[in-house]
Amino acid sequence: MPFRIAKSFTVESGHMLSKHPGRCRFPHGHSRTITLVVAAPTLDAHDMVCDFKALKLALDRVCDRFDHSLSINAADPLAKHLSPDRDRLVVFEGQDPTTEILAQRIYHDLDTLLKEGAAFTARDGLTYRLPAGLAIERVRVTETDSTWAEYAP
C-alpha cells in the first residue's frame, strides 16, 4: 500500500519470564515504546490515511492495561502468589510475556478494533473512527534503547 503512518505510545511495564534461565525470570521492568504502523491504498476525504487522534485513542485503549502493570505467564510457579484480581496484573495463558508476545497481542487486539470499525469519543466530545480499508502493517515494541521486537504477519 502506498500510504502509511505511524503512532507511538510509551508505557512503563514489568514482566517475569518463567522460561528464562537467567535473571529475566524475576520481576523486572522496562520503559516500552509501542509503535503502530498502518497503511491504506488511498487517502480519505480529509487527505489522510487515518486521523492520528483515532490511532492515539485506539492505542490508549489497547495499551493502557500494560502501563504500570506486571505481565506473567499463568504457569509461572510464582503466579499463585499474585492475586489474579489485581488491576495491574496481566496474565498470559501458557506463554511468557516476552516483548515478541506483547507485540503479537497488541497487534491482534488492534486488528480486532479495526475489523469492528471501532469509534472512540475524545475528551472534547468528538468521535474518531478507524476507517475501512486501513491495514495494520506491524507493531513494534521496544524493551530498551537498543532492543525491540516486531510483529508483522
Q: Write the pLDDT tens digit of every residue in 44-90.
A: 999 999 999 999 999 999 999 999 999 999 999 888 888 666 778 99
For 86-131, the pLDDT digits (tens) are 778 999 999 999 999 999 999 999 999 999 989 999 999 999 999 9
DSSP strand pairing (69-73 vs 127-129): unpaired
Please, what are the domains in the chain? 3-151 (3.30.479.10)
- Cβ neighbour number for residue 138 with a 10 Å cutoff: 17
For the record, the C-alpha cell of 10 comes out as 510509551
The span from the CA of 148 to the CA of 144, in Å, is 7
How far apart are alpha carbons 63 and 6 in whole angstroms? 15
| pLDDT score of 85 | 63
